Structure 1
Amino acid sequence: MTKRSEMSASRMRPYLFYTLRSRVIAVLLLSSLVPLILIGYVSYYTIASMLDNKVLNGVRSQMEQTAFSLDKEIQSLNHVAMQLSFEGGVGIELKSYLSSEDVYEKYIFEQSIHNYINLITYTNPNVGLIHYYFSDTNKIAFKVNNNTTEIDPGELSKLYSFSGITYHALHKSLSPTSDSLVLSVDRRIFIPGYGNLHVYVETNPNLVSHVLGASQPGMPMAYLMSDDSNRIAYSENDEEFALGTEFAPEVSSKHPQETRSSYLFTEKTGEWTWAAIIPKKDYDREKYSWLRQFAIFGMVSLAVALGFASMLWRTVYKPLSGFNKEIRLLQISGFHSLLKYPRIAEFDYVLDRFEEMRQRIWQLLQEVKRNEKLKAQLEVEKLMFQINPHFIHNTLDTVRWLARLNSQEEIERLVTTLNKVLYYNMGKGGTATVGQEIALLNDYVALQQIRYDFQFEIDIRTEDGLMEVPIPRFILQPLVENALYHGLGDDGRIEVKAALDGEKHIRVEVNDNGTGMSEEEIRQLFASESGERRKSGMGIGIGYVNRMISARYGEDASIDIRSKPGEGTSIVLRFPLAEERQGE
């Protein structure tokens, strides 16, 4: 297989985006998706950053507020516990209450202690359960506000402790009537003889839920607390953060710590750490919501792009289909079908050019047909003119020998000249030289001077160097014949001039001083009817010369006749030099 055929076969094999339809769809999809992807990429990171900052700031603010509130309540409990254990005040009455055996006296001390506790709780509304108890037996030493007989704060998770004060992490209230989360403080009371006496103080059962529920960021959160030894003292997520396990988070004010399925926010407050656990799916819910909306928007945009691609394809395909139909009709000679314009400027312009091309092809085909018909006519004429002169030529040759035998020299000369003219005419349609045409013309003029009963003069002038130049055969005689036929009389004169016209053309001019011709007579000279041609001398005439040079040279040759009645006639013939001459 040659390289050209390989390239042709390669062009014939379909490849990706081979059709116009696939390219239109690809371009429209790219023009829709690329800006969408770029905008989505920038928007995603911009909006994600905004959402992250929004959620992060909200959680941070809530964490700081919650940790501050819890720490404040712990300090408040410590202050209340200190007032309830003051050795110089309630401590003396508590000692007297515990050591008194008299029922009435014990009742008086009890009321005094109650009044003191009520005063403290009144001034500190966030205080809840208060108990005095013995740490060795967990027995209640002084009942304040319920019927509990014993408690065990030692089972509670500790945040930190010092100087006989223990701070507990969040836990359920020790009150049998409440399951609320509370903070508590356990403080030792230094009363002589009662070294194991402690006061236990809880926050109000509604306080912690109020603190934890304030300023919620709008997503579920689980909390945990770690003690001063970085161990978890309270946890709402036992799967990841079990009680008692080590907890050493990376405390950051900017970004949360990421775990397996959660984000961890921490806030260090004094000796303990407050942390919030937010599931990733909830933390990213708002971001994912925006992504879903953007995905829906992208799918809608894609569907719209496909719709526009289909619409554009139909807009382009219909005119292309019509244009393809016209091309197929042209292949079967459908040159005059009615074109349907799609009313799209570019396609209308292409159809206009196609119509011009189609009409031009039609004209060229008709011209080829006319030329072929003319050529066939010339061939027939050539055969006809070759057949008849053969008989005449043989007859004249016999007459010439008879004249010579009878010593008729003038008749012999006349017959010899006529025979030469007829013999030359038998080769019409070929190629001769300027010299051969002039020799024929001299013989023809000699015959005509004998034939006509008037005298005329002929002047033949040829430019130097033209005698051997090839020219079409039998073109000078019909021009001179026309001058003799159209009114040349006594003292008539015919001028024949042949010269170069530029570098590539020959100009032949035949002038006479005869009676001239009218426009109608000039038109008849070019008529194609055989009857009109037979009127012209030997039946050849200017019409033959015109058809012959037209068939041979086309539009590059011309014949021009200028004549008016009474003013003579001028015939100018112009045609290209033969190729061998031009190449010299």
Structure 2
Amino acid sequence: MRNLKIKQRLFLILFTEAVVIGLLGWLALHISFKIYDNQIYIETSDKLKLQSRAIDEKLRKADELSYSILANPGLQQSLKMMKQYPDSYESSRASRELQEKFLIRTPLQPYVGAVDIIDFYDNQYSIGQDAGVLDKNKIRQIKEMAVNKKGASFWGKPDKDSQTFFLMRELKESANVSMETLGYLIIRVDADKLVRSTTAEISNSETHLTIVADQTVIYPNDSLFQVGPDLPVDEENGYRIIADGSNEYLAAYLTSSYTGWLFINMIPYASIFHNISIMKVSLLFFYIVILLVMIYIGFRFARSITKPIENLTVKIAQVGKGRFELDQSGVSVSRDEVGRLNRDFDIMISRLDALIKENYIKQMMLKEAEYQALKAKINPHFLYNTLESVNWLATMNGQTEISIMVKALGDLLRSTVNNKEYVTIGEEIANLDKYIQIQTIRYEDRLDYRMEIPENLADIQIPNLILQPIVENSIQYGLENMPGICRIRVGAEESAKELVIFVNDNGPGMDPLYLHNPRDHQEGQTQSNGIGLRSIHERIRFIYGDEYGIVIDSTANEGTTVQIRIPYMRNGRVTHVQSAAG
């Protein structure tokens, strides 16, 4: 051994390890054959348990969806209105609300094909990608079965040549003890999608899942197995070998505790033995490959030590010639000391290259900013002149309201494009009054607006344009969503350390956790609501710190109060409450 070279010693060691590993592998293979059959039984049963639980869980979610629809007071009110006043305007409006507010906003899982609501007079309202008109006989059957269940949900068998499971229940009025029937709810579950979603996560493509209910195969329609002596329809749990002509299957079966259906999972025996043969050939091939790989590794090992050093030398030469963008494609860096030296050198060169590019980009952005500043001065000037022309034309034609709105809009435009980061509360109130002028002409007596900020706070400085978006939000989501008068009150409260400006309305309310859970409120929010409040909140926190910002206090159907918490500031300096009051 002493007279052998390092690469020869390494080769001998690796060759010996390969032989030992090969022998141990063959020994392990013989032992594994003895326990393989039991493992197949256990694995098949475990997969069936997991798959049946997954299917039951998704069916329970569909059941929970039916309960959430049943418990919706707005839906019950619409169905009650349609029942009491058929063929009337109230019934038509209730039908429209049922379609727009409840069905369209109902979130559906991918495997839920459709949700159907049948009113008291057998009118059908549906949503979902598989929504379709049910025939009268089907509706009659559903009603008879639902009445027998007395409001409880139940799963019905699929129709012939159908791959759809039906969850049905009777919709009863829950507002009083009469429990009158208002309609019927049907949730259609696509059996193929349901089973495929669980099969992809748990089982493999060679397994066959069959579902039996009441001595009848309900899934799939084209099942190779029919109810008879071969299928274990009279047993609850276990496994057995069943035959289909010349083919044999290992069948594990389990009864669902939720639906009472019998799940049967079958694996072809031929595929099991085929896998064993492949395993034998693969192990032999793997043993030969290991020998060849070990020989190759022995000769490559020394090269793997010197190669990173050579690569580092090439990089240093490239940097010396002024080439900072190094080509890293196809270069593998090890995790040893030499590899760490390579990585640190790459990081250093990358940062140096980034600094050079950053400086170049800043110069280009500076020129672009100068150009955009010039454009910003031209475009508003054109808009101001245009609005002045419209104002003059409205005045000449005696259109006083149009003249007032155009002038107020021009003043608002001037305030939005100015370069002030801070304005006084008095200036902000003046801008807000211009916006209210426009909205008062639009909504007339439906808008009741009051400004209650004390005059002694008029010279307090606040960030520009933070009140108008909040008042606009109150009008858009309060006034436009309620039939009566929308009352908006803007005021301010003083405390020892901060100034609180609040906007209060009597609208339908909003989620008070909206600002802290933006991901939960992305869907269905408009740009004004989705960006306005949150952007103002983040802007205040960026300027003053995380202890300041917007706080929302809202109660459903009673109103919303949006509080703006900021420090006192005069002449660009933060003050305290005594100086603010004085």
If the length of structure 2 is used for normalisation, what is the TM-score?
0.34
**Largest Rg, 1 or 2:** 1
TM-score normalized with structure 1 length: 0.34
